[in-house]
Amino acid sequence: MTDPTLDAARPYMIALADELKTSGALRSPRWARAFTDVPRHLFVPEWYEQETDQRGFAVWRHRRIDNATDDLAAAYRDITLVTALDPATAKQVDDHAWTGVATSSSTLPRLMAGMLETLAPDDEHLVLEIGTGTGYNAALLSARLGDSRVYSVDVDPGLVETARTRLAAAGYTPHLAVGDGREGYPGSATSFDRIIATCSVTHLPAAWIERTRPGGAILTDLALGIEGGLVHVTVDNGRRATGGFTATAGRFMAARADARAYSTPDRSPRAPEADTRPTVVTAADIRANYPFRLVLSFFLPDARLVYNTDDTGTALQLQCPDGSWARVPLSGDHTDHVTHGGSPDLWHQVEGAWHWWDRHDRPAQEQFGYVRDPDGRAAAWYRPDGHRWELTAGGRPQA
């Protein structure tokens, strides 16, 4: 590797690895060595940082590494670096800033390290990565395993070719392909010992199960509507995947079938406002407690959690396909009241979930298991007593 910025970056590479070891994200010497050896700035030479401009609007400010020292330290911060914006929503607002929706990023290094440690591949394992992105994670896998044992797929041809160039510049040539990663590695019948996804899916795709060797493992971000999280499962001889949510928590952008297609939420008609009443569950409770949101997604697998803004202010709103909704304000004099339309049972279930979670001493996400049966049905359960929830929306295959 002859890149002139490498020597200047070396102290930052070492400092990042040390920071990740201190935080507990890196626990093994070989993964620590990979983070020390792989130069992140080669894979993220430019990115967007969100800031508030003089008008009070949130914008994405473009940053670039122009020479051997500029912005190198910034590239090695333990933060997610957004690398692409949706062309359909991006609008330039000054010489170096845009509005728009982020569509690709270099993941928070602490999250990457925790996931790779959880994945725990052996030296002889074949690993499939879903979501090549910048190529940085594929480089870390290649540094740990050797690039011949690493396969990576991304839906965006441009990202794949850019990653290929940057990986080669860093000295790595893993197997790369373009395709919908939910269908596995295109054009290959290879079976893998480990599959790791850096995008979110609503269920474990059948192709991943079929391409995981018995005893192999899958690590992915599972989006369950209201909330989701990292799930680590082992696949048995009968194609049953069993495991649970990990202590490392993180969310990723949704997987998609086409590089130019971005999913938009269904907007079914909402029921008219019916009532406002006191509630024991506030917006602050929901926002502050990730494990509770996960439990809430078990109780209400068909519901979605959104922000709603109207003349009265901003609120957290739950909404269901039948048009029922319920919202609690984020601020003001009535944060302990819920307003709903349609079935009042929606918020009753929220309060029931809160009482369940509180009564069980507010368990963290790693206290919950997850299983996908061979027919595609899925369920979550509470490990200490086996209490089970059928995930009728997030856990079943979708057309």
* Residues whose CB falls within 8 Å of the CB of residue 12, separated by 6 or more in sequence, listed in order: 72, 73, 75, 76
| Domains within the chain, CATH numbers bracketed | 6-106 (no CATH), 110-245 (3.40.50.150), 273-359 (3.30.160)
pLDDT of 393 reads 47
pLDDT (average), residues 274-289: 96
Greater confidence, 183 or 252?
183
Greater confidence, 230 or 51?
230
Which whole-number Å values give the CA distances from 390 to 220, 245, 323, 341, 380, in the listed order? 19, 16, 22, 26, 7
% of residues, the chain, pLDDT over 70: 93
* pLDDT surpassing 80 at residue 17: yes
pLDDT of 392 reads 63
pLDDT (average), residues 286-297: 97
Tens digits of residue pLDDT in 362-377:
999 999 999 999 999 9
How far is the C-alpha of 111 from the C-alpha of 80, rounded, in Å? Answer: 9
Burial class of residue 215, CB neighbours in 10 A (0-12, 13-18, 19+):
exposed
pLDDT of 264 reads 56
Mean pLDDT of the chain: 91
Tens digits of residue pLDDT in 314-334:
899 999 999 999 999 999 889
Tens digits of residue pLDDT in 306-318:
988 887 788 999 9
Tokens matching residue 164: 């290929």
* pLDDT surpassing 60 at residue 164: yes
pLDDT of 266 reads 57
Kindly report whether the global pTM for this prediction surpasses the value 0.75.
Answer: yes
Tens digits of residue pLDDT in 260-275:
555 555 556 788 888 9
3-state secondary structure (DSSP) of residue 197: strand
Which whole-number Å values give the CA distances from 317 to 31, 155, 222, 325, in the listed order? 41, 32, 21, 7
